Amino acid sequence: MARKIIIDTDPGIDDAMAIFLALQSPEVEVIGLTTIYGNVYTSLATRNALHLLEVAGRTDIPVAEGSHVTITKGTKLRIASFVHGADGLGNQNFLPPSGKPIELSAAAFMIEQANQYPGEVTVVALGPLTNVALAIEEDPAFAEKIGQIVLLGGAFLVNGNVNPAAEANIFGDPEAADIVFTSGADVVAVGLNVTHQVVLTELDRAKLEQSNGKFAQYLSKILDVYFAYHQESYLMKGVYLHDPTAILAAIDPSLMTFMEGVVRVQTSGITRGLTILYNRQKRFGEYTEWTDKPTSKVAVTVDAPAVVKLVMDRLMES
């Protein structure tokens, strides 16, 4: 039976790829999209999530709007419009969607689904972790009832993309991320150390453009802005497949290897947003902030060619 997934998302060009990839993957059943700020503000994320489901012909899937502020009620959000365009989807002037989000908040929807299908729902979190942390705070049993939380976030032993310390999703709400990592839920983190190995090339993009696939066609257009950003910021002629890689971690973990250990998030100072995985090589004599905390699984290697091939094949099939 297909695994139920909720995609918590801030669409976002690579989010659009990830959502389409999930819709094309028979191993999973997308039971809802929940929205969050990050690549765009939350209201626009909701609008884009509804739009993407309309493009896909999947308006049967509910969209629940998430938090507009961080878990500490912070309103100074860092929005990555320079990565995805002002509209989050490559500045294509799409018409507004006709659908509406459901009445439940993102966190309430996650809690409802976890209660309805205990142990069977995976949340794939593609943006800052505010909604997931709210679900954990609002329902003490959520961490146990949710099947798995696969999150795109962190930079384990490599530089971040907001600054040398921090990756964008964790930096967006470090307090929320620390709540998630120490919640005791089955947490799988896919960070930049892995996603920076997964690159979609110009040639791949040309293939998407030439394909008859509906999703491939749509994506080849919105990818312009994302390519321009990578060219400017990384001097590369390709784009990182962050969010699609996280979807595939939920679908087929054998594409990656993982290290298990306690992860804590730095919440202050110049390294705010830094993710530190304790690799358990030393048994510290004294108490540390990592002592006796629940562990997470952190992706450390990836079969990048296999990931890119799966993404391409499935998007071109549409």
Residue number with CB closer to ligand NOS (85 or 114)? 85
Residue selected from 71, 134, 149, 168 as contacting ligand NOS according to rule CB under 6 A = 168
Query: Please, what is the minimum distance in Å from the beta carbon of residue 295 to ligand NOS?
Result: 23
**Distance in angstroms (rounded) separating the CA atoms of residues 29 and 72:** 32
Residue 222 binds to ligand NOS (criterion: CB under 6 A): no
Residue number with CB closer to ligand NOS (108 or 246)? 246
Residue number with CB closer to ligand NOS (39 or 296)? 39
Q: Which 80-119 positions form the footprint of ligand NOS (CB under 6 A)?
A: 80, 83
Closest residue to ligand NOS: CB criterion: 168
Residue selected from 51, 196, 205, 242 as contacting ligand NOS according to rule CB under 6 A = 242
Q: How many CA atoms lie within 13 A of 253 on its CB side?
A: 16
Sequence-separated (6 or more) residues with CB below 8 Å from residue 315: 17, 20, 21, 24, 208, 211, 213, 215, 216, 219
Residue number with CB closer to ligand NOS (35 or 39)? 39
Contact call for residues 10 and 39 (beta carbons, < 8 A)? yes
Segment near ligand NOS (CB under 6 A); pick from 163-171, 249-257, 274-282, 287-295? 163-171
Residue selected from 167, 173, 178, 204 as contacting ligand NOS according to rule CB under 6 A = 167
Tell me how far CA of residue 89 lies from CA of 22, 25, 152, 224, in angstroms: 18, 22, 19, 10
Length of the chain: 318
Residue number with CB closer to ligand NOS (65 or 167)? 167
SS3 (DSSP) at 215: helix
Strand 238-240 relative to strand 199-201: parallel, antiparallel, unpaired? antiparallel
Catalytic residue among 10, 173, 186, 243: 10
Known catalytic membership, residue 242:
yes
Residue number with CB closer to ligand NOS (42 or 161)? 161
Known catalytic membership, residue 10:
yes
Catalytic residue among 51, 84, 196, 242: 242
Contact call for residues 181 and 143 (beta carbons, < 8 A)? no
**Distance in angstroms (rounded) separating the CA atoms of residues 236 and 216:** 22
Task: Write out the two tokens for 97.
Answer: 């969607």
Instruction: Please name the residue ranges forming H helices in the chain.
Output: 13-23, 42-56, 81-84, 106-116, 130-138, 142-145, 168-172, 174-181, 192-195, 202-210, 214-234, 242-251, 304-317
Residue 178 binds to ligand NOS (criterion: CB under 6 A): no
Segment near ligand NOS (CB under 6 A); pick from 95-103, 166-174, 216-224, 253-261? 166-174
Query: Please, what is the minimum distance in Å from the beta carbon of residue 167 to ligand NOS?
Result: 5
Sequence-separated (6 or more) residues with CB below 8 Å from residue 311: 17, 21, 200, 241, 244, 248
Residue 169 binds to ligand NOS (criterion: CB under 6 A): yes
Q: Which 276-315 positions form the footprint of ligand NOS (CB under 6 A)?
A: none
As beta bridge partners, residue 5 has 30, 122
Residue selected from 7, 8, 11, 12 as contacting ligand NOS according to rule CB under 6 A = 12
Task: Write out the two tokens for 30.
Answer: 């997308």
Residue 161 binds to ligand NOS (criterion: CB under 6 A): yes
Q: Which 29-68 positions form the footprint of ligand NOS (CB under 6 A)?
A: 39
**Footprint on this chain of ligand NOS (rule: CB under 6 A):** 12, 14, 39, 80, 83, 161-162, 167-169, 242-243
Known catalytic residues? 10, 242
